[in-house]
């Protein structure tokens, strides 16, 4: 403590720096006549002097200054933290807004291509990747196909197809987890995406119900590290993209099933129409066949009864009746043979025996039979002159049956003009043409002319007769012999041409 008696001299003061030439005031007791020297040794230098403060006696102003400086540092740190938090909050709020917009867009689309495009735009804009490609599961689940890319020309990223279910078979990866890809994990298949600028690849899978529906791979700068809010945003985007891709996959599958069902429905309708038409044709066939069979049979029975009853004038008339009866019998036999041949064709029991045969000899055998067929007055029948025609691979009896059927039809449906046989030679084949100037065939009727029980016009069966089986049988016989048959006509009243093609022996 300081003394209470002080006769003269300056008052004691707080420790302060004093000049070297002035008197020093001591904090202790004062003398009666003047100031006492400070017990603390003073330096005699010309600079400021400091007075030591005893422990526990720190001045109040210094403490306040230290507290103010500490508070300022804390406020500065709090301001920096607040600014960082505001920046993070602003970025997080922006990302949430973007994800909300993306969610609305993805919910409104059912096309995988649109989903991929939206996801790729978000990844490229929000995370500033240098290059990026998005793959989806395609080709029936056997591969991942690049659907969209950025930062690369289309020809480069479109060629980066990867296998399924593991797009990186050379490296075991947890495919449902986002991760950085090592340089060798892709086996060099993603070298184009990795580039030459030191970028590293980040793998973002789109998984739903343990099915990897697709993924994105981002090429990021080598020093890039993800912030926590970025990873959270990527996780939300992954889920949205995976669900949208799954919905698009379901929608596409349902669309394909719907299209398949529609095709099957149309096919069933066509089959039903064909069955109804076949049933109608079969009913017409039965009616026609019964009429065709009854006509020659009635003639046979009638002429035979006349001969048996002796209702003829002389032997010549009796012979004529027997000849008519024989002709009716031949016609009846031909109708029955057609029906039997068709039954054998449908049961697969009809046989042919193709062999090399001389076409000129076959035509000579057919000629007298065809010339004996009934025809309208004035209708001429022309035969070709065959020279240097090679042998053909056919069953002679079956080819004769086909030719006679075609000639019979041509003569039956030609009211005036001619019926001609022509021969054309082509590389490896010979074509026989039966050309007539008859009633012709309409374009609509040509499509069904080779169907069972069908005729070009139902009314023709009444006018000209026939069961509609002849061309069907001819078509099957030619196909069984390795040949073809076709009809062409410019329309009704313009005649028709039938072509049968055979291979050269």
The domains of the chain are located at: 100-255, 351-503
Question: Is there a common fold for 100-255 and 351-503?
Answer: no
pLDDT tens digits, one per residue of 280-289: 877 777 776 7
Exposed/middle/buried for residue 459 (C-beta within 10 Å: 0-12, 13-18, 19+): exposed
Question: Exposure pattern of 72-107 as b/e (b: 16+ CB <10 Å)?
Answer: eeeeeeeeeeeeeeeeeeeebeebeebbeebbebbe
CATH of 351-503, one of 3.30.565.10, 3.90.550.10, 3.30.479.10, 3.40.50.2300: 3.30.565.10
Q: Positive or negative CA dihedral for 83, 84, 89, 92?
A: positive
pLDDT of residue 72: 87
Local confidence pLDDT in tens for the 505 residues of the chain:
333 343 344 444 444 444 444 444 444 444 444 444 444 444 444 444 554 555 555 567 888 888 888 888 888 888 888 887 777 777 767 667 777 777 777 776 777 788 888 888 888 888 888 899 999 998 778 899 999 999 999 999 999 999 988 888 877 778 888 999 887 777 788 888 988 888 899 999 999 888 899 999 999 988 888 888 888 888 888 888 888 888 888 888 888 889 999 999 999 999 999 888 878 877 777 776 777 778 788 888 988 888 898 888 888 989 888 888 888 888 788 778 878 887 888 788 888 899 999 999 999 999 988 888 888 898 999 998 888 889 999 999 999 989 988 998 899 889 999 999 999 999 999 999 999 999 988 887 877 777 765 554 544 444 555 556 778 888 989 999 999 999 999 888 889 999 999 999 8
Under CATH, which architecture does the 100-255 domain have?
2-Layer Sandwich (3.30)
Coil, helix or strand for 247? helix
CA terminus-to-terminus distance, the chain: 146
pLDDT of residue 337: 83
409's tokens: 């039809």
pLDDT tens digits, one per residue of 90-144: 776 766 777 777 777 777 677 778 888 888 888 888 888 889 999 999 877 889 9
| DSSP string for 286-341 | HHHHHHHHHHHHHHHHHHHHHHHTT--SSHHHHHHHHHHHHHHHHHHHHHHHHHHH
* Upstream peptide bond of 165 is cis (omega within 30 degrees of 0): yes
pLDDT of residue 399: 93
Q: Output the furthest CA–CA distance in the chain (Å, rounded).
A: 201
Decide if 453 contacts 403 (C-beta within 8 A): no
pLDDT of residue 297: 86
User: Which residues are paired to 144 by β-bridges?
Assistant: 137, 162
Cα–Cα distance for residue pair 173/312, rounded to 1 Å: 107
pTM above 0.75, yes or no: no
Cα–Cα distance for residue pair 335/323, rounded to 1 Å: 19
Cα–Cα distance for residue pair 386/384, rounded to 1 Å: 6
């Amino acid at each position: 403590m300081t003394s209470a008696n002080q006769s003269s001299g300056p008052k004691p003061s707080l420790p302060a720096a004093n000049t070297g030439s002035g008197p020093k005031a001591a904090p202790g007791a004062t003398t009666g006549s003047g100031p006492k020297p400070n017990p603390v040794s003073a330096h005699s230098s010309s600079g400021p002097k400091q007075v030591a403060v005893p422990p526990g006696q720190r001045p109040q102003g210094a403490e306040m200054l230290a507290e103010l400086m500490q508070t300022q540092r804390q406020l500065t740190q709090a301001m920096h933290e607040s600014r960082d938090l505001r920046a993070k909050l602003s970025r997080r709020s922006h990302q949430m807004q973007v994800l909300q917009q993306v969610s609305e867009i993805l919910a409104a689309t059912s096309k995988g291509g649109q989903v991929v495009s939206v996801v790729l735009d978000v990844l490229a804009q929000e995370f500033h990747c240098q290059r990026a490609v998005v793959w989806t599961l395609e080709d029936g689940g056997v591969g991942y196909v690049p659907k969209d890319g950025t930062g690369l020309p289309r020809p480069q990223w479109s060629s980066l197809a990867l296998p399924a279910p593991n797009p990186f078979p050379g490296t075991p990866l947890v495919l449902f987890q986002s991760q950085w890809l090592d340089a060798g994990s892709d086996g060099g298949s993603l070298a184009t995406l990795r580039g030459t600028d030191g970028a590293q690849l980040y793998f973002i899978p789109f998984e739903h119900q343990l099915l990897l529906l697709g993924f994105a791979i981002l090429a990021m700068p080598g020093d890039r590290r993800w912030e926590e809010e970025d990873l959270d945003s990527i996780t939300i985007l992954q889920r949205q993209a995976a669900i949208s891709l799954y919905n698009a996959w379901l929608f596409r599958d349902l669309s394909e099933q719907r299209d398949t069902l529609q095709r099957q429905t149309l096919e069933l309708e066509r089959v039903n129409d064909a069955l109804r038409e076949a049933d109608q044709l079969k009913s017409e066939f039965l009616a026609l066949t019964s009429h065709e069979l009854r006509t020659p049979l009635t003639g046979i029975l009638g002429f035979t009864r006349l001969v048996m009853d002796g209702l003829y004038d002389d032997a010549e008339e009796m012979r004529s009746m027997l000849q008519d009866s024989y002709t009716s019998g031949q016609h009846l036999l031909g109708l029955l043979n057609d029906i039997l041949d068709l039954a054998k064709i449908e049961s697969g029991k009809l046989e042919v025996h193709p062999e090399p045969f001389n076409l000129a000899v076959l035509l000579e055998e057919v000629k007298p039979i065809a010339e004996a067929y009934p025809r309208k007055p004035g209708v001429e029948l022309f035969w070709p002159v065959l020279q240097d025609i090679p042998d053909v691979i056919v069953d002679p009896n079956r080819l004769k049956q086909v030719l006679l059927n075609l000639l019979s039809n041509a003569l039956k449906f030609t009211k005036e003009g001619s019926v001609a046989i022509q021969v054309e030679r082509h590389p490896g084949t010979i074509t026989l043409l039966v050309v007539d100037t008859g009633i012709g065939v309409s374009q609509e009727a040509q499509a069904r002319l080779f169907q069972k029980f069908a005729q070009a016009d139902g009314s023709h069966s009444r006018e000209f007769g026939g069961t509609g089986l002849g061309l069907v049988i001819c078509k099957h016989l030619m196909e069984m012999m390795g040949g073809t048959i076709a009809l062409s006509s410019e329309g009704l009243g313009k005649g028709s041409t039938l072509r049968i093609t055979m291979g050269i022996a």
